[in-house]
Chains A and B, each alone.
Chain A
Amino acid sequence: MRIRAGILVVGLILWPCVGEAQLRVRDLVVTGGVAAEGYSGNLAAVTIAVVDSTDSAAAAVGEFSSRLDLEHISADARSRLRMAFDLGLRQFAATGFKVRDYAPREWVGSGEAVFSRAMSSWGSITGVVSFKGRWVEDRPPMPLFLQPGYSQIRAGAQVNLVRSAQFDLDFGFHGRREDYRATDPVKQLDLLGRNALSLEGGVSWRGGARGELRFFTTFERSEYPQQGSFEPDDPLRLDHTFRTGLTWTRFADEIDVILGLEGTLNRSNSRRPEYDAVALRGEVSIPLWWDLGMDVYTVITGKSYLFETDFARLVPGEEADNASVAYVTFTRPLAPNLDAALRVGWTRAETDIGDQYYERYGLTLLFNYRPTIR
């Protein structure tokens, strides 16, 4: 029902543009690829029905996906509507488990519409609406962790105020609703559903060739309507999260860099999920020789809980932003509309039992085909 409502909202936004036939395809990419992955960590997970005592597992993976980006610019060039649609299928053939081999399959789909309008003197306004859905079949036990299925609807608005040629201020709010599908016997997944509202303010400084620096602060209020707080006076869990950080973005001289440092304080009416965390994020694109390009994507996090407990922390809860990931992708064009990408990936993430970690390694070969480029 919510997905249909999301599609309806996007359809209503699209309708006038389709009527005027001014939609432009910004990008269309069809991706196919294969991967080999290894997982380690003899761990338990509360959200997974099956349990296996293996220390490590491996999987051969095939994936297929497509992405479509559309753009509409108004006649006065002040308004822009961008839409992005993404569909993907990933099939695993996993082995190394003691109970049986698994063949999990993931389906994902998402859509987003972002409308922005430049106001004559003082800045711009932006509105966003998006939906995302995910389905997983034959979800395996740890250490091969796959995100459970869920649906998400998100909407928000932002105002950008141009203070000078170098400084911008921005204020925004977002709301989202997430619904995790509980499938018997993992009823705990239902507990992950939440409604959240967030307010964000930021100040940006544009330094020309030195890039752009943005400081931001976010306050988020998250309700978990299915989840108890274990506090008789305040029975439903309610979290307040405060984030602050900065992002440096520089696109110049053939090297693109996005670096971010972010601190998080999560406080709740339930003591169990309260924590402090810090994350360093980085994206770097560098051209190499023979038309080869390298893209690095990393997130390194550290986290400390305020209270020690033997109970599962992450289920119910969503405070696992302490995963560290590193991906290095080498891309080479094979034709004007076909790229080949070889990706090496590593992940270290906490299971839903706090302070326990599993690792994942992967080698992926992907082909990106753009049919609209000749």
Chain B
Amino acid sequence: MTPRPSGPQLSGPASHRRLGTFRGLRCAVLGILPLLGILTSRVHAQDLNQLRREIEVARSGLELAISELNVYEGRWEEAYDSIQSAKRRGDDAALERAYATAHALSDDRSLAQQSEDSAGTALTEAKRRLEGGLNREIRRLELAMDTASVERQEELDLLIEGLERELTDLQRGDQFQVQTAAIALITIDPIDLPEDIIAKAELLERRAQQAQETIDDLDGRLEELNDRLRRERRRRDSRRSIERFDDVRIPVGNPAQSASENSGDPGVVAGDSTAIQRPMSLEEEIRTLEELRRQFVQDRDEFLGRARSFRARAREIR
């Protein structure tokens, strides 16, 4: 019994032709693969370079935002000192001007803080993307090691080592931190003794106390302004209820004399026009002071938090 062929018979002219085609294809594929490898490695390198450029741009943006914020922090400190100084002298006009300056700075400072936040977020995002890119590239090179020649493996080793170093540096990262100018100046030096650290903590607590005094002062002003707003609303209610049905235009008086709905706004606060060249309404003034108060509360909390950590550090050293 002749065994029945179980597979394709690779004999005869047709089989040879098919075999030749297969070998040609394999050669072609084997020939193209290195080319593809070169091309993809270039593509990956380009991607990584793009990601590196992005991170440089983000870092420059953050540095710029920080320097801008530092300018406003410096001015904020000056305004803060002016407020304290005017309060000590009991100079109401100077205090009014100092608050107006702080109002004007308040928005710019908030915007600069927002810019710094956005730039920080952009840098974090850029870092995350570069980390992902580096990890992918390292994995790709490790896979390529399996099939690479000895010389190529050494090359790849060096490449991987470089990328891993870059990744470590990136993960260690540059710690950008922005603090108010006063806080930034008060830091713990390596040579500081516990007494020095406690003295610095006390300095921070004094700054917190000053901030609290300003908050109390702002609370008083806010209460006064809210009283004025209530009084203004009461007066407006009274006037509108009289004028609404034309009871004061009897029988048909001159409508030009009837006050505008928006005229006679008593909510003008002296000194406000220095900031925006437009008198502020009571509502605007209240909103601005509330924002100013929020910033002083934030400063006070930062001072206190820092003082607590200084005291803890002093205890550790002892």
Query: Is B257 interfacial (CB 8 A cutoff)?
Result: yes
Given contacts A73-B284, A341-B237, contact A347 B266 (CB under 8 A): no
> Are the C-beta atoms of A174 and B256 separated by less than 8 Å?
yes
Contact B257 A114 (CB under 8 A): no
Assess whether B38 is interfacial by the CB under 8 Å rule. Answer: no
* CA A67 to CA B238, docked complex, whole Å: 12
Q: Would B233 and A27 count as touching, CB distance under 8 A? A: yes
Given contacts A73-B284, A77-B276, A285-B235, contact A147 B252 (CB under 8 A): yes
Question: In the complex, what residues of A have CB within 8 A of residue B107's CB?
Answer: 77
Are A256 and B241 CB-contacts (below 8 A) given A118-B277, A147-B252?
A: no
CB distance from A152 to the nearest CB of B (A): 6
Measured CA separation A121–B278 after assembly (Å): 11
Contact across chains for A320 and B252 when beta carbons are under 8 A apart: yes
List residues 107-123 of chain A with CB under 8 A from any CB of chain B: 108, 110, 112, 114, 116, 118-121
Q: How far is the CA of A76 from the CA of B238 in the complex (A)?
A: 34
Closest B residue to A89 by beta carbon equals B245
Q: In the bound complex, how far is the Cα of B251 from the Cα of A47, in angstroms?
A: 10
**A29 to B234 alpha-carbon distance, docked (Å):** 11
| CB pair A90 B238 closer than 8 Å | no
Complex contact A86–B251 (CB within 8 A): no
The chain A residue with its CB closest to the CB of B270 is A208
B247 at the interface (CB under 8 A from A): yes
Contacts of A57 in B (CB 8 A): none
Q: A130-B260, A321-B257, A329-B238 are in contact. Are A145 and B278 (CB under 8 A)?
A: no
In the assembled complex, B244 has its CB within 8 A of some CB on chain A: yes
Give the complex CA separation of A50 and B256 in angstroms.
30
Assess the A314–B251 pair: CB atoms within 8 A.
yes
User: Is B115 in contact with chain A by the CB < 8 A criterion?
Assistant: no
B244: nearest residue on chain A (CB-CB)?
A88
Are A88 and B256 in touch, CB under 8 angstroms? no
A320 surroundings in chain B (CB, below 8 A): 250-253
Residues on the B chain within 8 Å of A63, using CB:
245
Q: Specify which chain A residues have a CB less than 8 angstroms from the CB of B261 in the assembled complex.
A: 69, 84, 86, 110, 112, 114, 130
Would you call A299 and B248 a contact (CB within 8 A)?
Answer: yes
Q: Among residues 320 to 374 in chain A, which have CB atoms less than 8 Å away from a CB atom of chain B?
A: 320-321, 323, 325, 327, 329, 331, 333, 339, 341, 343, 345, 347, 349-352, 364, 366, 368, 370
Residue A95 interfacial (CB < 8 Å): no
Contacts known (A114-B260, A325-B248); A124 close to B234, Cβ less than 8 A: no
B294 sits at the interface (CB 8 A): no
What would 16 A/B residue contacts be, using CB atoms closer than 8 Å? A78-B277, A82-B262, A112-B260, A114-B260, A118-B278, A134-B246, A147-B252, A176-B255, A178-B255, A254-B231, A293-B234, A323-B251, A341-B234, A349-B250, A352-B251, A370-B233
10 A-B pairs with least C-beta separation: A118-B278, A84-B261, A349-B250, A251-B266, A147-B246, A118-B277, A295-B238, A323-B250, A329-B238, A114-B262
